[in-house]
Amino acid sequence: MPEVKSIFREVLPKQGQLSMEDVPTMVLCKPKLLPLKSVTLEKLEKMQMEAQKAVKLQELAMKEQFQ
């Protein structure tokens, strides 16, 4: 491979500040784990189950009264 001479030459300052551009890179974050069911949904399901049990108990009590 033949060497290619550059038209531009590198110039470094003898005094003052030397600045350098920072190239932004991607930063990966930890994955956020979400619950399968929210707390509110669990409370609603629990309330619904309790209400269904109460209705069944009332129905059984009504059947016993009429027998």
What would the pLDDT profile of 22-46 be if each residue is shown by its tens digit? 778 888 888 888 878 888 999 999 9
Q: Mind listing the pLDDT tens digit for each residue in 1-25?
A: 556 667 777 777 778 776 777 778 8
- Report the sign of the C-alpha dihedral through residues 37, 40, 42, 44, in that order: negative
* Higher pLDDT among residues 48 and 34, named by residue: 48
pTM: 0.44
Task: Count how many Cα atoms sit within 13 Å of the Cα of residue 24 in the half-sphere of its side chain.
Answer: 3
CB 53 within 8 A of CB 47: no
* Higher pLDDT among residues 10 and 49, named by residue: 49
